[in-house]
Structure 1
Amino acid sequence: MQPAPELNALRETIRRIEAGGRRASAVLPFGVAELDARLPGGGLALGSLHEVAGGGNGAIDGAAAALFAAGIMARTTGPVLWCLTRPDLFAPALAQAGLAADRVIYVEAGDETAVMACFEEGLRHGGLGGVVAELGRLSMTPSRRLQLAAESSGTPGIALRRWRRQADARDFGQPTAAATRWRVSALPSVPLPVAGIGRARWHVELIRCRAGETADFNVEACDAQGRLGVSAELADRSVHARPAGRAALA
């Protein structure tokens, strides 16, 4: 039975009241149908906060997570603010993931408190394609401020979780206001018919999705336009995903 027109109108009124003065949220599709199908609206919400971390504590998974974030930002329009405390970001690698050097504004802050302040200011600015901030810790209260800032401007924000010590990673997985939470791990590269190194591959886990479902995928790493590739596992529809009926925490 279809809902009555009066009920639909009431739901729309409630949605507008809850949204307040915030902009309608647009989405950025990944271009991988199986992945986009797991995200509300068919893509990554632009006016929202997202969390990305490496699947392990090593440098390789951490680099994969950074390139995953760079690939997302590569497909936005406008300059990208990247906030960090250590000058250890390899710009040519970001360019290979589609994020050209002339689009990135680097902010090297003294500590994570300063990074958080720059993150929030960048999200509120409204003239950026996106903001990435490298953070070890992220609790609910500051994440709410970041989410509200992203909603107010329509700018996507990525909290790139990086840890110097294992103990610093303890809060990852605790509730935050982020719309999605991702974990990226490096896989063996695509095999070639001759000796050499093929395109990098990642195991991408969507471990939290507001109003969506969790899932995980094996994909080919971002190309020069920031686009993920469809690996053999996805092409054959043998996706390593959690049961479809398992909803993520809201």
Structure 2
Amino acid sequence: MGLAERERRIAALRERIGGLAPERGRPVVAFGVDAIDDHLPGGGLRLGALHEVAEAGPAAEHAALAALFVGGLLARLAGPVLWCLPGRDLFAPGLAAVGLHPDRVLYAETRRETEVLPTMEEGLRHGGVAAVIGEVARLGLTPSRRLQLAAEATGSLAVVIRRWRRGSPEPGAALTRWQVVAAPAPPPSAPGLTRARWTVELVRARGAEPRSWLVEAPDAQGRLRLSADLADRPLAAPQRRAAAG
């Protein structure tokens, strides 16, 4: 058995064991949408843990929707946020529009993608921040384990935003993996702009089955809500394919 195959099997075993661990009583940040929170162990996204978010579609490499999704989540946390990325392309007004005020964000522009994950780990181990976010194309098993351990040690939320270029996601230690893709919005019932709609998919989670929801993008307080025509029902497979297409 090769080393890579062995690492994959160990990761799968760890994930199965992790899924058996009770999540009750562990601190979480709730999405504020009952259909999502009730589906997740503990009622939300666990703090002191690593999570992954990616974007589907032609703009996946830029991951703008993924960043907004994460920004809305962070709006519901108190305290400063460390955001690590290789270049200066994070749109602060966009984050402010989903509730994450620029004054709360500490930017770490590493210039090189290879330095993003070490910077994340250092920020997590230092403590004193509510969350540490990193934007990278790839996340190997060993770095993801290091980030998970660092997050556990301080209780901070760790999120890796995956900027896909090609290939499939590697095995990792993240507790959850999410995917966000733009969905068609209905015509407005009155003059004016409507909130964008996304298909938010829980691709993988310890202790929860994969599932998708059709939601409206976060408002100025970071609040998601189910699309009105979803009526508290999970998004069916044909609708998911149509939204992703």
- Normalising by the residue count of structure 2, what TM-score does the alignment of the two structures yield? 0.82
User: Residue in 2 aligned with 1:79?
Assistant: 80
- Encode CA deviations 1:216-247: one digit per residue, 9 max, x unaligned: 0000101111110121243x2332157xxxxx
1:183 counterpart = 2:179: yes
Equivalents in 2 of 1:240, 1:112: separation in Å?
Answer: 35
Equivalents in 2 of 1:135, 1:179: separation in Å?
Answer: 18
Which has more radius of gyration? 1
Equivalents in 1 of 2:152, 2:30: separation in Å?
Answer: 18
- Matched residue type, 1:198: T
- Matched residue type, 1:81: L
Equivalents in 2 of 1:190, 1:27: separation in Å?
Answer: 33
User: Residue in 1 aligned with 2:7?
Assistant: none
Equivalents in 1 of 2:87, 2:227: separation in Å?
Answer: 33
Equivalents in 2 of 1:241, 1:148: separation in Å?
Answer: 36
Equivalents in 2 of 1:220, 1:204: separation in Å?
Answer: 10
CA RMSD of aligned residues (A): 2.1
For the Cα contact (< 8 Å) 2:197–2:216, is it kept in 1?
yes
User: Residue in 2 aligned with 1:240?
Assistant: 235
Secondary structure of the structure 2 residue equivalent to 1:147? helix
Q: Pairwise mapping of residues 1-250 of structure 1 onto structure 2 (< 5 A)?
A: 25-58=26-59, 62-163=63-164, 166-167=165-166, 170-172=167-169, 174-234=170-230, 236-240=231-235
Equivalents in 1 of 2:214, 2:67: separation in Å?
Answer: 17
For the Cα contact (< 8 Å) 2:87–2:109, is it kept in 1?
yes
Equivalents in 2 of 1:37, 1:149: separation in Å?
Answer: 27
For the Cα contact (< 8 Å) 1:190–1:197, is it kept in 2?
no
Alpha-carbon spacing, 1:61–1:132, altered in 2? closer, same or farther (3 Å): same
For the Cα contact (< 8 Å) 1:190–1:199, is it kept in 2?
no
Secondary structure of the structure 2 residue equivalent to 1:227? coil
Equivalents in 2 of 1:190, 1:50: separation in Å?
Answer: 31
Secondary structure of the structure 1 residue equivalent to 2:39? coil
- Matched residue type, 2:233: S
Equivalents in 2 of 1:219, 1:160: separation in Å?
Answer: 19
Equivalents in 2 of 1:119, 1:90: separation in Å?
Answer: 20
- In structure 2, list runs of 5 or more residues that go unmatched: 1-17, 238-245
Equivalents in 1 of 2:109, 2:62: separation in Å?
Answer: 22
- Encode CA deviations 1:78-120: one digit per residue, 9 max, x unaligned: 1100001121111000000100010000110021221111100
Equivalents in 2 of 1:69, 1:75: separation in Å?
Answer: 10
The count of aligned residue pairs is 216
Alpha-carbon spacing, 1:195–1:99, altered in 2? closer, same or farther (3 Å): same
For the Cα contact (< 8 Å) 1:182–1:207, is it kept in 2?
yes
- Matched residue type, 1:238: R
Alpha-carbon spacing, 1:190–1:82, altered in 2? closer, same or farther (3 Å): farther
- The farther-off stretch of 195-204 and 144-153 is 195-204
Equivalents in 1 of 2:55, 2:107: separation in Å?
Answer: 21
Equivalents in 2 of 1:229, 1:221: separation in Å?
Answer: 7
Equivalents in 1 of 2:64, 2:48: separation in Å?
Answer: 25
Equivalents in 2 of 1:149, 1:60: separation in Å?
Answer: 27
Secondary structure of the structure 1 residue equivalent to 2:195? coil
Secondary structure of the structure 1 residue equivalent to 2:63? helix
- Matched residue type, 1:240: L
Percent identity between the two aligned chains: 52
User: Residue in 2 aligned with 1:11?
Assistant: none
Secondary structure of the structure 1 residue equivalent to 2:83? strand
Equivalents in 2 of 1:103, 1:192: separation in Å?
Answer: 33
Equivalents in 1 of 2:52, 2:219: separation in Å?
Answer: 21
- Normalising by the residue count of structure 1, what TM-score does the alignment of the two structures yield? 0.81
